[in-house]
Amino acid sequence: MAFLPKWRTLGLLASALLIALALACGGGGSNPPPPPPEGSLRVHNDGNLTMWTLYVTPSTSSSWGVDQLAPSVLIPGDSLTLTRLSPNTYDVQARFSDGSLDKVFDVPIQDGVTTVLGMMNTGNGAVSVFNNSGFTINGIYLTLSSASTWGPNQADLPLYTGQTLTLTGVSPGTYDLRVTFSSGSPTDYRGFSVTSGVVTPIQVN
């Protein structure tokens, strides 16, 4: 019977071990999975006041989520870039140091693209919703008439009969408003204009 030399036997064992380790670690020419699609949103403070809060949420979401600036703020002229956003349409809300809001709805985010959005505390209007219905309002949705979704609920608290909720920082344009109640069917108000520096009244009967 022939025996292999000791050095050759050890060499063969070492080669077999290296091949086994390579296969266990994904060797053999397999390709890693592609990264998931994602885009970015760069928000500029184009106003003359400090931006205190910034919320970015998918347009289908029912809430604004977390403040993207916390614990910092965004001074005039500065910008913040949010990365790793899944391709979708998003709603954006900024609150400034004077309490005014700027909201932009249905902002498109695309794979591999940085969308730039300017937010400012001037040049916007407001919508005042007066509850004269005799029922409690638990949802108020305001969106551009050209949008395909209602976006998030603007009523943080129930709006009882006789109360008014004023939505500030609304960009000029043509809007639709949906009001939902604690019971019964929603009521829609469609195709009204919001003008810079003007409060547009909506009475819910």
Mean pLDDT confidence for 66-92: 95
Please state which architecture CATH assigns to domain 39-119: Sandwich (2.60)
Give percent of the chain with pLDDT exceeding 90.
Answer: 52
pLDDT at 50: 92
Per-residue b or e along 129-145, where b marks 16 or more CB atoms closer than 10 Å to that residue's CB: bbbebebebebbbbbbe
Kindly report the average pLDDT of the chain as a whole number: 84
In this prediction, residue 49 has a pLDDT band, given cuts at 50, 70 and 90, of confident
Q: State how far the Cα of 39 lies from the Cα of 19, in Å rounded to an integer.
A: 40
3-state class of 21 per DSSP? helix
Q: Where, residue-wise, is CATH 2.60.40.2890 in the chain?
A: 39-119
In this prediction, residue 38 has a pLDDT band, given cuts at 50, 70 and 90, of very high
- Residue 86 tokens read as 């899944």
Most confident of 7-11, 28-32, 120-124: 120-124
More confident residue, 14 or 88: 88
Over residues 98-129, the pLDDT tens digits come to 777 888 888 889 899 898 888 988 667 788 89
pLDDT at 9: 39
Walk across the sheet containing 39-45 and list its strands.
79-85, 39-45, 114-119
Q: State how far the Cα of 84 lies from the Cα of 102, in Å rounded to an integer.
A: 23
Task: Choose the weakest-confidence range: 37-46, 78-87, 102-111, 158-167.
Answer: 102-111
Q: Are 114 and 81 in contact (CB under 8 A)?
A: yes
Over residues 145-165, the pLDDT tens digits come to 999 899 899 998 899 999 989
pLDDT at 197: 65
Q: Where, residue-wise, is CATH 2.60.40.1120 in the chain?
A: 125-204
Q: Taking the model in full, what pTM does it have?
A: 0.51
At the top level of CATH, the class of 125-204 is mainly beta
Most confident of 5-9, 45-49, 73-77: 73-77
pLDDT at 171: 81
Is the pLDDT confidence value at 176 over 60? yes
